A = this chain, B = another copy of it.
């Protein structure tokens, strides 16, 4: 058996599979036959410098010629392979950490080393979706205790980059999502930085929502900054509001989250490890966590949120983070706007102390900022809210916000969407329910967040009395086609807003 026989020439096929390593080989390829490879076999693919594990898809057409091998784009990128390069394939050595996953499936408690090995192999790309899903499922549903969640969190922190701001206190905030328009982050950062705290805020783009903080901030300033640029902004202004996607913090989290989304579950242990590992890796020391609770929010019951709060604080303690969980109302969207541009409008109107600024957004921003000031121990307990209010209403927070945006490269105006469509009440009555999930869906169908101007501006809140024909909300879109998508959804769902 000569090594030569397992050698094939790479041909780019241009197949994009997100994070899945796929290798393409011909059915009649001598390597497949001699090695006994079958479709979906996980095999090792190597070049001179590196190697990956990939699932085999077998080509029975002339897409590949004899002696050629293809890779999905992510796999080609990891191997840094070039067209015509020689690749070597071989049977997979056992993935040792899967024995820990199996132990977890069989209800055994795992320790730090086991989680560390699992996370390392996940980042390597050694786990297939089947393995990832089994790991997530085995850890879901109360199957991890505080020790285990802490060990998993530590393993995730140490698996990626870790930022060090050379400050004793670095504050951060996080919201356990699910509430459209809940864009308090820019307000909290502006207040905290105006107070003199260090708050290097990295945010995500929307994954399933109509806007993430990074999408909203991108309307107003640049959010894709290099590590050096972020450092400069934070040193200069004490805070930043950037996209965290390039930071490679807790990289296993991004892989696990995609599988959790496919399963549509939020395992408590994974959720805590995900949030706290990102915060710790980003160099935070004191973190306020906003958990909105409501029937159509992510966390739906008082009981669930109390448990989550306790566990979050305990795990924070174990990994060296001071955590303050703030439970907020999650029964309806926050502010008026839903979608990047419309949320930016809300944020600016609060920071500029405009008379018509959405008061609920302002109050939430102040509440969280107040807690953060107190948690930092720089402001006496009981005085956080007043201090935050003074910073906001004096215009100091707005000045700081403007300075941060300018330091990030620009401070732009908000826009008006070219297509708007008013939605009116079908009858007279009281606004009884607002379905957060369906409102979010509607905003997404209208184009948010890809179309930055798209989204919804709400005109009613729970408890409002409305006349028949009164304005409920306005759909905003950049194209007529997207507006029509949203309208079609609207026509098929009469329970987006319930009037009684």
Residue of A137, A263, A444 with most chain B CB atoms under a 10 A cut-off = A137
Residue of A1, A12, A481 with most chain B CB atoms under a 10 A cut-off = A1
Residue of A72, A128, A262, A444 with most chain B CB atoms under a 10 A cut-off = A262
- B137 in contact with A63 (CB, 8 Å): no
Chain B positions within 8 Å of A107 at CB level: 141-142
- What is the bound-complex CA distance between A310 and B133, given in angstroms? 30
> Which residues from 96 to 110 on chain A have a C-beta closer than 8 Å to any C-beta of chain B?
98, 101-102, 105-107
With known contacts A60-B14, A63-B13, A1–B488 Cβ distance under 8 A: yes
- A59 in contact with B485 (CB, 8 Å): no
- A265 in contact with B102 (CB, 8 Å): yes
- A59 in contact with B137 (CB, 8 Å): no
In the complex, whether A39 has a CB less than 8 A from a CB of chain B is: yes
- What is the bound-complex CA distance between A106 and B59, given in angstroms? 40
Copies in the complex: 2
Q: Interface range on chain A: under 10, 10 to 19, 20 to 34, or 35 or more?
A: 35 or more
* A17-25, A334-342, A387-395, A419-427 - the one binding chain B: A17-25
In the complex, the chain B residue whose C-beta lies closest to that of A18 is B39
Complex partner residue of A15 from B19, B63, B105, CB under 8 angstroms: B63
- A134 in contact with B24 (CB, 8 Å): no
- What is the bound-complex CA distance between A129 and B20, given in angstroms? 12
Chain B positions within 8 Å of A42 at CB level: 262
Chain B positions within 8 Å of A262 at CB level: 40, 42, 128, 130-131
In the complex, whether A301 has a CB less than 8 A from a CB of chain B is: no
- B72 in contact with A57 (CB, 8 Å): yes
- What is the bound-complex CA distance between A59 and B472, given in angstroms? 42
> Which residues from 453 to 475 on chain A have a C-beta closer than 8 Å to any C-beta of chain B?
none
In the complex, whether A431 has a CB less than 8 A from a CB of chain B is: no
Complex partner residue of A1 from B60, B128, B481, CB under 8 angstroms: B481
Chain B positions within 8 Å of A15 at CB level: 24, 57-61, 63
Chain B positions within 8 Å of A225 at CB level: none
In the complex, whether A140 has a CB less than 8 A from a CB of chain B is: yes
In the complex, the chain B residue whose C-beta lies closest to that of A11 is B61
What are some 24 contacts across the A-B interface (CB < 8 A)?
Answer: A1-B481, A1-B484, A1-B488, A13-B61, A15-B59, A16-B27, A16-B57, A16-B58, A16-B60, A17-B39, A17-B40, A40-B258, A63-B63, A98-B263, A102-B265, A105-B137, A105-B140, A105-B263, A106-B140, A106-B141, A107-B141, A130-B262, A131-B133, A133-B133
- A-to-B contact residues, CB < 8 Å: 1, 12-20, 22, 24, 27, 34, 36, 38-40, 42, 57-63, 72-73, 98, 101-102, 105-107, 128-134, 136-138, 140-142, 258-259, 262-265, 444, 450, 481, 484-485, 488
Which 7 interchain pairs have the tightest Cβ spacing? A14-B61, A133-B133, A137-B137, A18-B39, A14-B60, A16-B58, A106-B141
